[in-house]
Structure 1
């Protein structure tokens, strides 16, 4: 059995957002646990500081008759986990994220944002930490198309450029959590100055809509923002690639891309040492 067949863990991950806080504590334990010893309801309850009744309700919510059936299936699945299957874990997680990206694409939204970028005089991409790395990738991709774009991952420069933004500016903010203080402050200032604000985030909180013109939702998994096994940049860059594809449909930008590629090729040819 491959790790992709681990129906118990897939079940937990698919139901995760429906769980209560107590149930998420229980789910986190089983998602991260790799041992099968001492998994009786009593030992797990003591370890997690929850009641055995909570474990029973959790199991039933996951579709099992009770905690004993849940543990039976869980131990059967987890016993298959070994070093050879670690690669399957990574690949399958990437595939799950890719499938989630596909389901979350809003074509009309992508067209609308591409239109914002086409009409802009200045584009700033805000990101900090791993999101800053993604911001730099966005900058490099769109710069080759002739867009006046800049990646910003310093808190002071975020504030300064936000204050300089106007109705001809577009700000793209990247924050998986949607709670990065420097990013939220920056887009709030930019929005008040009339800039179009686009945010890429996994945070579905309604309060972000007051700061943003468009929110591109990014799929995520537990601990993705910590870079645990899976690069937190992956789902961000997938969505950026999709936006890039919509943007490049504009013929003039596609020609600009060809010109930059030709310039690079010519430079390489001119510098060949014989």
Structure 2
């Protein structure tokens, strides 16, 4: 993860709901702008174990204390207190997302999904919350290319749809964190019946990924979705951009033919 311009104040805030009393003690130490110390010294001063400090670092999205101290020292050296972000910091977050995307997007999976889209006329997109909003973008784009796209936005409806879908249908599941247990059951049911079901997520260890036909990994926001600085559907929208671009570039003749047949009806 690129650490430049990461604000520890905001890292603490997005993870605050997961904090224990020990975590809060550690956070308070850094928010009070205390001196930089080794992990052993910090443990003694704060009154916690070194293992608690390591767990705290991971809980806020960092790998270890070294990364936290790097960010902390930058902010100690700065005239600005923690939790102040300018547009440069936001630009850096965008850059981080693009870097992640470069490393996690699998071209073979993009090829596999776009071929499935080409084979199927009816596509069901499953997603809740922000993912459902991204599903609306998928529907708009591929609907313009002649596909019938239905966005299913709640798990109860997904459970109902799973019994009426057939191998004639294609299912695309959008879930950034990949933690919805009910969706995982639906995906398992669909693929067990031979229905192609593809997942777009930032969580490669998701139970949904264990059952999907294939999984397209996208960037993770590392908590920016909790602070609201970056719209939470952006990583999924970026993955959809790649699918759409690849589909258009590899199906130009089919798209051109469909547009020509539809033109008279638009006049």
Fold-level match, TM-score > 0.5? yes
Cα deviations by residue, 1:37-60 (Å, 9 ceiling, x for unpaired): 345669975997633686599899
Contact 2:178 2:207 in 1 (8 A): no
Matched positions, count: 244
Cα deviations by residue, 1:119-165 (Å, 9 ceiling, x for unpaired): 12421000001111111111111111111221110333212221122
Q: CA shift at 1:244, angstroms?
A: 0.7
Give the structure 2 partner of residue 251 of structure 1.
252
Contact 1:165 1:194 in 2 (8 A): no
Matches for 1:53-132 after TM superposition, within 5 Å: 63=66, 72-77=73-78, 79=80, 85-132=85-132
Distance 1:154 1:49, change over 3 A: farther
Give the structure 2 partner of residue 51 of structure 1.
49
Give the structure 2 partner of residue 220 of structure 1.
220
Rounded Cα–Cα distance in structure 2 between residues aligned with 1:205 and 1:6: 28
Q: CA shift at 1:105, angstroms?
A: 2.0
**TM-score scaled to structure 2, two decimals?**
0.72
Unpaired segments ≥5 residues, structure 1:
13-20, 268-274
Distance 1:185 1:55, change over 3 A: closer
Please, what is the CA RMSD of the aligned residues?
4.2
Distance 1:126 1:227, change over 3 A: farther
**TM-score scaled to structure 1, two decimals?**
0.71
Distance 1:208 1:78, change over 3 A: farther
Unpaired segments ≥5 residues, structure 2:
12-18
Q: CA shift at 1:79, angstroms?
A: 3.8
Q: CA shift at 1:262, angstroms?
A: 6.5
Q: CA shift at 1:206, angstroms?
A: 6.4
SS at the partner of 1:173? strand
Rounded Cα–Cα distance in structure 2 between residues aligned with 1:190 and 1:8: 42
Contact 1:8 1:73 in 2 (8 A): no
Rounded Cα–Cα distance in structure 2 between residues aligned with 1:55 and 1:194: 47
Cα deviations by residue, 1:191-242 (Å, 9 ceiling, x for unpaired): 2221111001111216444311110112113224436211111111011010
Distance 1:52 1:162, change over 3 A: closer
Cα deviations by residue, 1:77-132 (Å, 9 ceiling, x for unpaired): 5747685x422222210121022112222212211111111112421000001111
Give the structure 2 partner of residue 229 of structure 1.
229
Give the structure 1 partner of residue 154 of structure 2.
154
Rounded Cα–Cα distance in structure 2 between residues aligned with 1:162 and 1:170: 11
Contact 1:218 1:235 in 2 (8 A): yes
